[in-house]
Structure formats: C-alpha cells, structure tokens
C-alpha cells in the first residue's frame, strides 16, 4: 500500500512538473493568416530542425538545439505582405528582424537542447539561437547577442 501511494504521488508530481512547462505559450500576431497560440508541445509538432550550436550563454558549450526555423514559421503563417519578424520576450525585450536576414542566418526558435525541453534556467521554454557563429568573445556577444532573444512570448509578423 505504501508503495502504491508513493508511486501515485510520484506520478502526480511528475505531471504537475510537465504541465508547468507546457503552460507557457507563444503567440503569433501581426500579419498572420490567422492568430495562433502555441503551447510548447504544439511547436514540437511543427517541422523540426536540429542544429549543433555553440551556446554563448552556457560557456560556449556545444548544444544540439531543436525547434522550428523562424523562416519556416513565417512561410507557414505569415501573410504575403509581411517582410519582417518582431520577436518579443516575456520581459518585453524585443527585436525586429528582416525576413531575408532571418533566412540567411538560419535563426531557430529552439524548444529543446540535447533532446530535452529547455528549462527557464536554459532561457527557455522557447528561445532564438543562431548557428555558424562559433565561439563568442564577450565583446562580440554584446553586439551579436541582440538577436538571441530568450523567453520568447510573441512573434509578430510586420
């Protein structure tokens, strides 16, 4: 009986844990075919790409980031008239990026790192990562880092 209770408790707390993660949503707004609200799980069902990228925010560790190309999201949901993407974070930090730049830089809306959903500590549950940058020095990061938006909440097509 004791074991059953322990097992039950473990299952419940595990569920509470996963619910906590998937609760955070990402909103698609602006020049969209229709407004969308994605859970992190919804995003995981869209076309996924895995890219091994040097993470300047975890001591330049190489991490296999998985998620959807920002350009793919644009191609799937933006209206023809849209040309830019505004990425807005939970703390209202935002950047506006031209779609040509987004494509060229292969910007990824990552939700997983090394096979696991990104925690808030890892700047998740959804964050922008950019491949092909190698290792950043502190000076370069201050300049290049502006597009590495973490805690992404809203993606607005302009």
Residues that bind ligand MTE (CB under 6 A): 89, 91, 93, 141-142, 145-146, 148-151
Residue 87 C-beta: closest distance to ligand MTE, Å: 9
Residue 24 C-beta: closest distance to ligand MTE, Å: 13
Nearest to 77 by CA among 22, 148, 130, 27: 27
Residue 145 C-beta: closest distance to ligand MTE, Å: 3
Nearer to ligand MTE, 65 or 148 (CB): 148
Nearer to ligand MTE, 21 or 93 (CB): 93
Nearer to ligand MTE, 76 or 106 (CB): 106
End-to-end CA distance of the chain: 59
| CB-based contact 99:90 (threshold 8 Å) | no
Nearer to ligand MTE, 32 or 129 (CB): 129
Residue 129 C-beta: closest distance to ligand MTE, Å: 11
């Amino acid at each position: 009986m004791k074991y059953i209770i322990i097992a039950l408790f473990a299952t419940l707390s595990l569920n509470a844990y996963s619910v906590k993660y998937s609760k955070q949503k990402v909103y698609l707004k602006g020049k969209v075919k229709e407004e969308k609200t994605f859970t992190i799980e919804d995003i995981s069902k869209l076309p996924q790409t895995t890219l091994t990228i040097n993470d300047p925010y975890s001591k330049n560790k190489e991490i296999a980031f998985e998620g959807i190309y920002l350009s793919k999201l644009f191609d799937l949901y933006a209206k023809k008239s849209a040309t830019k993407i505004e990425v807005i974070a939970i703390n209202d930090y935002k950047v506006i990026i031209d779609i040509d730049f987004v494509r060229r830089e292969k910007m990824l809306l990552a939700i997983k790192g090394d096979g696991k959903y990104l925690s808030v500590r890892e700047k998740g549950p959804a964050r922008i990562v950019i491949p092909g940058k190698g290792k950043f020095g502190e000076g370069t990061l201050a300049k290049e880092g502006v597009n590495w938006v973490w805690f992404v909440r809203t993606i607005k097509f302009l």
